[in-house]
Chain A
Amino acid sequence: MSHLQDRVRASLQASRRWHIAEIVFWLIALGSFWAFPRHLLLMNEIAILALFALSLDLILGFAGIVSLGHAAFLGLGAYAAGLLAKNGMGDPVLGLVFAMVVSGFAGLLSSPLIVKGNDLTRLMVTLGVVLILHEIANSWASLTGGADGLQGITINPVLGLFAFDLFGKTAYLYSLSVLFVLFLVARRMMNSPFGLSLRAIRDNQLRAAASGVPPSQRLALAYTIAAAYAGAAGALLAQTSQFVSLDVLDFHRSADVMLVLIIGGPGYLYGGMIGAVVFKFLQDTIAAFTPQYWMFWIGLFLVLFVLRGRSLIHGGVKLFMTRLPWLSGRGRS
């Protein structure tokens, strides 16, 4: 028994060790700040989308919960941060924490419904929750501004030092820092016994329960954390654009983030970030020639991707990894 414990501990510690490819990844992300000074706003959007996808990865990639309404927590966080700033408390970090608490609480409240059901009821519940929130945001216009959106948000400088500017300099660094910190936390969590138990539940819930993992409790906790993460993404969105519209609760947000995560590959934390980069570039390119029917192309992309493309892209990545063994942790063993 103790031998097994040692092995598990050793394996967890090994996975916690930083790989050189990861360090390179974050250095590139930071370096882009100086490399592409004219695209900072786009890069800010990428960072926020990456955080949102990371949050979905926690429940989809690690816990295996399929959600059609992850935008609920994004929107809730955005409105929470926006409203706080509108009512005179414009400190961004305070708003961020507040948004995470609000979204996390909402996640906790809705988690019993998620934990109980099968995939089908989960789809319905997640979709239902986001529709309810959309309806509330739409009809409670005195609070949220309804269809006009929440206007007149002023955000104080980050930590009282760095004011937000038009070019997105502060915005990108702020979003990237939040993404990085939350990523560190998520990385530590997923490489802990807790993360291991989530994967066990995803792979076989019955068996996980039989080996002493309480599935409902763990799933509820994972769902709450993921909701808080999505809330943080929403807060970043509201703070860096200084505007919140009903669009944050729209169905396409939930579908987009799912696509982002699947492009990058779920279950290893970097999928959302890689996916966010690819997705935004795709969107930018396609929007350049047909802005109106973007939806059609994203639909086509989804269909093709599921039918053929996934093995193509991921196969390519794997091939790349085996060719360059020093890049991949698995190559060495």
Chain B
Amino acid sequence: MLTILFDGIAYGMVLFVLACGLSVTMGLMNFVNLAHGAFAMLGGYITVLLMQKLGVPFLLTLPLAFIGAALIGVILERILYRPMYGKSHLDQVMFTIGIVFMAVAGADYLMGSSQQIIKLPSWLQGRFDIGGVGVGRYRLFVLVVCGVLAFSLQWGFTKTRFGSRLRASVDDARVARGLGIPVNRLFALTFALGSGLAGLGGALGIELMGLDPSFPLKFMIYFLVVVTVGGTSTITGPFFAAMLLGVADVAGKYFVPEIGAFIIYVLMVVLLIVRPDGLFAKGRA
């Protein structure tokens, strides 16, 4: 029982790392980026390639996945995404779906359509018991890494100058710009950070979620749920949304495998009916 809770939390943690960048970029530029999963997939494939072809140790590939995805994120933001900010949501949706399709077909072409498998270092394999609760070593590792990340993100978001500028821009980009905050540069930076985190999440998630070319499509709904349910103005909102989703998904698939896949959708519908503006929405005029 507790093991499932633990697995669910680890799963939710990875979801959070995957989706938190998206929630900030969406809040900041009101830009609907459905291609976020493509960056996660990129990070995953960077790890797979580095480990399989060059024999780089797993731990070292994680920062490289982050950097690789962040770099591509910055380049794409500069060239492709920037003209899209002023356009309608419909255009943004079509544009990013186009990117997703290209990424899916491209990954299929370059890497083949099969599931990728990585060999974790031996100290991350297996599980051990803590007071009768079986704890997977890798899941514990993920939990620690993502937990540290979440805390530092929360700290950076609320306590640093960068964070306060970011929050100001999310609240009202026009006024922030008027006050001399470089919103565009801030956004490029956030976009890079978000893409990098997605890449890292993708790399961490290979073992938990699998990795194949359809990854961006399969997890698109998860990202959307995390962002809509969690709201876009905080770090804690998406965090709890991701936790809820992770635990519900893992528990659902374990206890009622026949209908397990429906649990998150039901959850989503219920949450939307009860709290249409997100789980932690502030009252808005």
Contact = CB atoms under 8 A, between A and B. Distances in A.
B95 A307 contact: yes
A296 B101 contact: yes
Given A293-B109, A299-B105, A303-B102, A123 B262 contact: no
A130 to B, nearest CB: 10
Contacts of B269: 113, 125, 128
Which residue, of B90, B93, B104, B217, has the highest number of chain A Cβ atoms within 10 A? B90
A301 B80 CA distance: 14
A131 B266 CA distance: 11
Given A132-B265, A303-B99, A259 B94 contact: yes
Nearest to B95: A306
A300 B261 CA distance: 32
A301 B105 CA distance: 13
Contacts of A66: 89-90, 93
Interface stretch (A72-80, A90-98, A114-122, A218-226): A114-122
A116 B94 CA distance: 23
Interface string A290-331: 000111101111110111000000000000000000000000
B220 interface: yes
A113 B276 CA distance: 9
Interface string B81-104: 001100101110111011111111
A35 interface: no
B104 A127 contact: no
Interface stretch (B120-128, B192-200, B223-231, B246-254): B223-231
B261 A135 contact: yes
Contact of B89 (A119, A124, A255): A119
B227 to A, nearest CB: 7
B108 interface: yes
Contacts of A228: none
Interface string A131-152: 1100100010000000000000
A303 B94 CA distance: 7
B75 to A, nearest CB: 15
A295 B100 CA distance: 10
Which one of A258, A262, A302 has the greatest number of beta carbons of chain B within 10 Å?
Answer: A302
Given A125-B272, A127-B221, A296-B106, A306 B87 contact: yes
A194 interface: no
A116 B265 contact: no
A128 B224 CA distance: 10
Nearest to A255: B97
A120 B217 contact: no
Contacts of B89: 66, 119
B265 A131 contact: yes
Interface residues of A, number: 38
A258 B91 CA distance: 10
B32 A119 contact: yes
B258 A302 contact: no
A310 to B, nearest CB: 8
Nearest to B91: A306
A123 B95 contact: no
B26 A255 contact: no
A117 B224 CA distance: 13
Interface residues of B, number: 41
B153 interface: no
Interface string B191-213: 00000000000000000000000
B54 interface: no
B245 to A, nearest CB: 12
A68 B92 CA distance: 12
Contacts of A128: 221, 225, 265, 268-269
B273 interface: yes
Contacts of B83: 307
A33 interface: no
Nearest to B226: A124
A299 B100 contact: yes
A124 B264 CA distance: 12
A117 B276 contact: yes
Nearest to A124: B224
Contact of B98 (A117, A120, A300): A300
A233 interface: no
Contact of A258 (B94, B99, B102, B224): B94
A94 B268 CA distance: 35
A302 B100 CA distance: 10
Interface string A236-272: 0000000000000001100100110010000000000
Given A125-B269, A303-B98, A306-B95, 17 more contacts: A60-B90, A112-B273, A124-B221, A128-B269, A131-B265, A139-B261, A258-B97, A295-B101, A295-B105, A299-B97, A299-B102, A299-B105, A300-B98, A301-B98, A303-B102, A307-B80, A307-B84
Interface of A: 60, 66, 68, 112-113, 116-117, 119-121, 123-125, 127-128, 131-132, 135, 139, 251-252, 255, 258-259, 262, 293-296, 298-303, 305-307
Closest 6 CB pairs of A and B: A302-B98, A299-B101, A296-B105, A299-B102, A303-B98, A124-B224
10 contacts: A117-B272, A124-B272, A135-B262, A251-B217, A255-B101, A294-B105, A296-B105, A301-B98, A303-B98, A307-B80
